[in-house]
Copies of this chain bind each other. A is one copy, B any other.
Amino acid sequence: MENFEKSRGGRPRAFDPEAALDAAMHLFWEHGYEATSLAMLREAMGLTPPQIYNAFADKETLFRRALVRYHEKEIGFALDALSAPVPVKEAIRLLLMGAAEAYTRPGKPGGCLFISGALAASPQAQGIADELKTYRKATEAAIAARLAKGREAGELPADLSVERLAKYLTGVMHGMSIQARDGASAEDLRALAETALAAWAAEVRQAADAKGGTDAGPVLHD
């Protein structure tokens, strides 16, 4: 596993590319893509500009590599939760609770890089914003897929809209990310997740009630 990249002759690198990438990832996570200057990266990575550009091509490539590393190293909880051999409700619970922990990890920036990285961007960085949107959409799609699997397994009402519920759950995670940025604690986020999960029960109950013929009408219209 070590020395994966074969030496092709020439002077060897005087730094660890993965450690440098980690430093860059944390900086992007904290300040976003455009607001992170090369001067800041240089200091955090402990490298000179030519070292950075030789190893990572340019700032945009460095950011995209940081996204991949973030996806692999920081938010594995999401894939773990959605692929866990548990009922769909428990899987979603693991997902939200994992987010509560990952978004408030000590020593790490609050929230999710896929949101903080570039919600708004200059026209020049539109491609970066689009890339992040793609990551967010992939999460939503993964949630929808897990919900659909649960529905097919009979764990959810057959007439439940998984797309709609996935949008809600993704939105809740996004909201948790911003709350984390605003200083919410892991416990705050867990409480938020609990309330969000209560909606799940209500939504399912509502669908089940409608199915059973005892339609109680819109839940909130009283």
List residues of A whose CB falls within 8 A of some B CB.
30-32, 34-37, 40, 89, 93, 111, 115-123, 125, 133, 136-137, 164-165, 167-168, 170-176, 178-179, 181-182, 184, 188, 191-192, 194-203, 205-206, 218-220, 222
CA distance A89 to B219 in the complex (A): 11
Residues of B contacting A198 in the complex (Cβ-Cβ under 8 angstroms)? 199, 202-203, 206, 219-220
Closest chain-B Cβ to A157's Cβ sits at a distance in Å of 14
Q: List 19 A-B contacts (CB under 8 A).
A: A30-B120, A31-B122, A32-B121, A35-B120, A35-B122, A93-B220, A115-B119, A116-B120, A119-B178, A136-B182, A164-B192, A164-B195, A171-B172, A171-B192, A172-B196, A175-B175, A197-B220, A199-B202, A200-B220
- List the number of copies, as a whole number: 2
Known: A32-B121, A35-B121, A203-B195. A167 touches B179 (CB 8 A): yes
Q: Chain A at the B interface: mostly helix, strand, loop or mixed? A: helix
Interchain residue pairs A-B with the least CB separation, the first 4: A199-B199, A171-B175, A32-B120, A175-B175
CA distance A184 to B200 in the complex (A): 20
